[in-house]
Amino acid sequence: MTVVRDDPSRPDPGFAELYAQLPDATDLWPWLELAQGATPPVLYLGIGSGRIGVPLNAAGIELVGVDSHPGMLDRLRERLPRTELIQSRIEDLALDLRFDLVIAPSNILYLVERLRRAADHLGDAGALAFELANPHWLRAGGGDGVRVRAFDGNGARLEVDYRLPDGRTITQQAEVAIVWPEEMENWLLAAGLRLQRMFARPDAELLDSPSFYVLAQKATG
């Protein structure tokens, strides 16, 4: 079994190699719909090797992409040579631009310091849309290639299997902080945001879905 880790402080070359072998996403919900309703460009946090970014670009969405992994960005620059790509940890990001829409389609905004920095890049009427792992699903043991090795209510240690087109399986090890849906409003307020909408996929209930989605805006008053 090949094992890789996603560590922004010490990028694992194997993590970039894994994602380079995965097919691009064909289901762009809800990101495409959100991006089509926003003033371009869209700031994409954690753009990686472009599994979602490349199809969004092909659909006509102008992106500014951010990722901390140099190997991911090296591959993506070959695929999106005209897209502005920035190597940075989210915690360290400080762009001059403000955006109508900031998206994070993977479970990376689970730390308040990252959430605050994402909020710093919103325009006054801008929206932040992001996906989080569902702690209720993790507490129940995960499933579908996700094994929960430890869970204490504040964090989880996971193993995620990726089955490649050539038949191999590569396992990603990850440690994530937990954000409970029931605490979302207060958690967002700590970053100067207010909850606009929280939802699961159309075919799933919020508490049973492996992940859920949050749409937030700057808090006022």
- Give the model confidence (pLDDT) of 121-154 as tens digits: 999 999 999 999 999 999 999 888 899 999 998 9
Decide: 137 and 213 in contact? Cβ < 8 Å.
no
Residue 12 has pLDDT above 70, yes or no: no
Percent of the chain with pLDDT over 70: 94
- 16-25, 55-64, 167-176: lowest mean pLDDT where? 16-25
pLDDT of res. 144: 80
Residue 106 has pLDDT above 70, yes or no: yes
Helix (H) or strand (E) holding 176: strand 169-177
Whole-number average pLDDT of the chain: 92
pLDDT of res. 4: 62
pLDDT of res. 168: 84
What domains lie within the chain, and their CATH numbers? 2-218 (3.40.50.150)
Residue 190 has pLDDT above 90, yes or no: yes
Instruction: Say how far apart CA 129 and CA 105 lie, in whole Å.
Output: 8
Termini Cα distance of the chain: 53
Instruction: Say how far apart CA 202 and CA 78 lie, in whole Å.
Output: 34
Residue 95 has pLDDT above 70, yes or no: yes
Beta-carbon contacts of residue 114 (< 8 Å; ≥ 6 apart): 90, 91, 108
Residue 215 has, within 13 A of its CA and on its CB side, a CA count of: 15
Decide: 72 and 19 in contact? Cβ < 8 Å.
yes
pLDDT of res. 90: 96
pLDDT of res. 1: 54
Instruction: Describe the strand order of the beta sheet including 99-104 as a list of residue ranges.
Output: 84-87, 63-67, 42-45, 99-104, 122-133, 211-218, 193-199
Decide: 2 and 166 in contact? Cβ < 8 Å.
no
pLDDT of res. 209: 92
pLDDT of res. 157: 93
Which of 81, 79, 40 is CA-nearest to residue 60? Answer: 40
Q: From residue 40, give the alpha-carbon distance in Å to each of 90, 180, 199.
A: 20, 31, 24
> 3-class SS at 95?
coil
